[in-house]
Amino acid sequence: MIENKELILLRPSKDLENQLMEYRQEFMQYNEKIKKDKNNINGSCSLHRFDLFDEWLDRVNICATDESLSPYKTIASTFIAVRKSDNKIVGTIQLRHTLTKELRDDGGNIGYAVRPSERRKGYATQMLYLVLEFCKELGLDKVLLDCDETNIASEKTMIKCGGIFDRKQPIYHSNGEVEIVHQYWIYL
């Protein structure tokens, strides 16, 4: 558990099932596209892909303990951001403990999302600050984050948390589309 005065970051658990499935549903209702993947929920260990909570929780636990089975090829810690005042889930954030070549090109060490109805309230910044504290505890000296070049809110969050612009990175999709992401380093 990691916390500040307004938020607490919890590890996913069966106790959060109903709230997490409601959180997932809100993203589906907003029908957003993030990184060209319809209804993707960043920082959630692909919650959007699982209709069954227990299957998703198994995936989270595998990613947290076995880098050989993780799709990132590194250990990944997933956290649920809960507002203390009413215990509502406001976001998800995930730390990939090492930076593989694939993550260097697209994804970085940290991904996060704030539920659509709770945006523009500073939660992404709070979540990122809390995870950066966890990064320090792990002994990391820097982390890489990225966002689509049109995601101004995420870019501002990275900068507020000490992000230093590194580069624009083209991402080539199988359908022929090219997406440009902005990458930022945060030194701890």
- Check pLDDT > 80 for residue 38: no
The answer to whether residue 31 scores a pLDDT higher than 80 is: no
Rg (CA), the chain: 15
DSSP code of residue 99: -
Place of tokens 């692909």: 46
Model confidence band, residue 68 (pLDDT cutoffs 50, 70, 90): confident
pLDDT band at 136 (very low <50, low <70, confident <90, very high): very high
- Residue 100 CA, chain-centre distance (Å), reads 16
For residue 8, which amino acid is it? I
Give residue 173's pLDDT: 82
Q: For residue 114, which amino acid is it?
A: V
- Confidence check: pLDDT of 165 > 90: yes
* Residue, of 23 and 3, whose pLDDT is higher: 23
**In this predicted model, what pLDDT tens digit does every residue of 81-132 receive, in sequence order?**
999 999 999 999 999 999 999 999 999 999 999 999 999 999 999 999 999 9
Spell out the domain ranges in the chain: 2-140
CATH level 2 (architecture), domain 2-140: 3-Layer(aba) Sandwich (3.40)
Give 9's pLDDT tier (boundaries 50, 70, 90).
Answer: very high
Residues of the chain above pLDDT 90, percent: 78
> In this structure, what token pair is assigned to residue 65?
């303990």
CA 133, CA 60: separation in Å to the nearest integer?
21
With a CB cutoff of 8 Å and minimum separation 6, the contacts of 118 are: 83, 88, 90, 91
Amino acid at 185: W
Residue 33 has what pLDDT?
53
pTM: 0.93
